[in-house]
Structure 1
Amino acid sequence: MQNDAARCRSCSAVYPCAGGVPVLVRDAQTLASEIEEARRVNPAWYVAEQPPESASPWRHHLKKRRLYVERVLGRELARRGKGRAARLLDLGCGDGNHLVWLKRFAEDLYGCDYNVVRLARARARDQDATLFLADILDFPAADGTFDVVFFNHVIEHIPDDSAALASVARILAPGGLLVLGTPNEGAWWWQLAYKRAPDVRATTDHVHFYTAETLARKVSAAGLDILEVEHMGWGPPDWRLDGRIRKYKFLDDLFEALGRRLIPRQASSLYFVATKSNA
């Protein structure tokens, strides 16, 4: 790879690079148009920085999510008799905040997104990961390439989510692991939050509002076997108040304890752990 172009070792196709990151899409102009359309809804979407865990109002919740994923990866890799995955992909890596801790679970770490601004930030955060720009619906990887796919809070943005999950199933190796995170916004508790703030609903770039049941059907339909589903994170059904309250650890912990006991299906986040059959 040179700074301005990258050549595929398999097919010898040449792709442009942006900021040293290969742009592995067939039609870069269509991609640019889609991004511009997204910015009409949310002008800051393309350029706004994604704060690291420590700087987020939801930092205590984000830490719980990270610790959960770390436990899952450690457990599932040990179950497979591996210390680290041969190839781990952060699918929709954004600014690369997760790459810094995912690297200890991977011999080779990959990250992709379809936002070149975010990929430039990801490259600055982790020089060791292999980064590229790609479209999940036309993904530039051979069948069975990755042992682990971390697909975190991305699928709710993709109109054809079933096709995205089919693509994940295709690129997973037999016996490979998918860790899928998404908001639990189909739950009545968070639908209430949207009703209380119609301006937030009008400007969100989420196109799907899942519950565990609706997403489970899609994951299974993609041919993946679900190992577990985790509900995580509880707060008040008010988008503005939620961030103000949960920035305090004792309140985040209190909502977590009460939510798990009283409204266990109304968490703010869902995590699916799934695998691709060896058959």
Structure 2
Amino acid sequence: MLTVDFDRLGIGPGTSVIDVGCGAGRHTFEAYWRGADVIGFDQSVSDLNDVETMLRAMRDEGHVPLSAKGEAVKGDALDLPYADESFDCVIASEILEHVPEDDRAIAELVRVLKPGGALAITVPRWLPEKVCWLLSDEYHANEGGHIRIYRADALRDKVLAHGLELTHTHHAHALHSPYWWLKCLVGTDKNDHPAVKAYHQLLVWDMMGRPLLTRTAESLLNPVIGKSVAMYFTKPAVNVATA
């Protein structure tokens, strides 16, 4: 389930990509499948081990171009171990809401992005997230949980302050908002609750089959209750002075 729209990023063979806070690797795998040289970057060793295993399997089974490179790297998003202007594309999906020093993290995302490159950031949307917080403390008040609720314009301005340009914004995963509201209502750890199980089966059916009915419903609902907001930025290319 992708939150980032890869068709907007121009990712393909030869593109250098870093997926900061890659988690289970969904965006890392998509970039690799498209032929990019991608780094899945995270602080969780267990997640990165799984990502590395999948990258290796994709390569061994011939699901990626021979020129593509993929690796999993452990590190701190507040201190990325890469030189300035290292990547054509930087992805940070559903990570900033976990980071206390989000301004420092954003500065790092911008620092490693090449001029002319694309930055994609996604975070939980304000209204669906606010409902979750109101229904359940368990949803966010845990180690590594969400520590803030972003308003899209506030996050946008944090990035624009670094000189980037906003190119597009959209919302995603509207069908997931009611699922999380339901979990928050009955208890976030009660995955065996009949209503939660039934809704989860619906989501799996939607993700696996992508039927027209649910695709249409989500498209119509995304502007209203989309679970995530995605923003796309570009770093202005350096203007070379002419003699």
If the TM-score is normalised by the length of the shorter chain, which range does it land in? Answer: 0.7 to 0.9
Using the alignment, how far apart are the partners of 1:196 and 1:255 within structure 2?
A: 25
- Aligned partner of 2:232 in structure 1 is 273
- Choose which of 168, 178, 182 in structure 1 pairs with 2:119: 178
Q: Secondary structure at the match of 1:194?
A: helix
The alignment yields a C-alpha RMSD, in angstroms, of: 2.5
Asked if the contact 2:129/2:149 (under 8 Å) is kept, the reply is no
- Choose which of 69, 73, 83 in structure 1 pairs with 2:5: 69
Q: How does 1:100-115 map to 2 (within 5 A)?
A: 100-115=29-44
Asked if the contact 2:20/2:42 (under 8 Å) is kept, the reply is yes
Identity fraction in percent: 27
Asked if the contact 1:112/1:134 (under 8 Å) is kept, the reply is yes
Q: How does 1:128-277 map to 2 (within 5 A)?
A: 128-184=69-125, 186-187=126-127, 189-203=128-142, 205-234=145-174, 235-236=177-178, 238-240=181-183, 244-245=198-199, 247=203, 248-249=205-206, 252-253=214-215, 255-260=217-222, 264-277=223-236
How has the CA–CA distance of structure 1 residues 183 and 243 changed in structure 2, closer, same or farther, with 3 Å as cutoff?
farther
TM-score by length of 2: 0.73
How has the CA–CA distance of structure 1 residues 115 and 258 changed in structure 2, closer, same or farther, with 3 Å as cutoff?
same
- How many positions carry a matched residue from both structures? 203
Shift of 1:146: 0.4
Asked if the contact 2:132/2:139 (under 8 Å) is kept, the reply is no
Q: How does 1:21-60 map to 2 (within 5 A)?
A: none
Asked if the contact 1:169/1:223 (under 8 Å) is kept, the reply is no
Q: Which runs of 5+ in 2 are unaligned?
A: 57-68, 184-194, 239-243
- Aligned partner of 1:94 in structure 2 is 23
Ranges of 4+ aligned residues in structure 1 off by more than 4 Å: 241-244
Using the alignment, how far apart are the partners of 1:222 and 1:273 within structure 2?
A: 14
Q: Which runs of 5+ in 1 are unaligned?
A: 1-61, 78-82
Q: Secondary structure at the match of 1:98?
A: helix
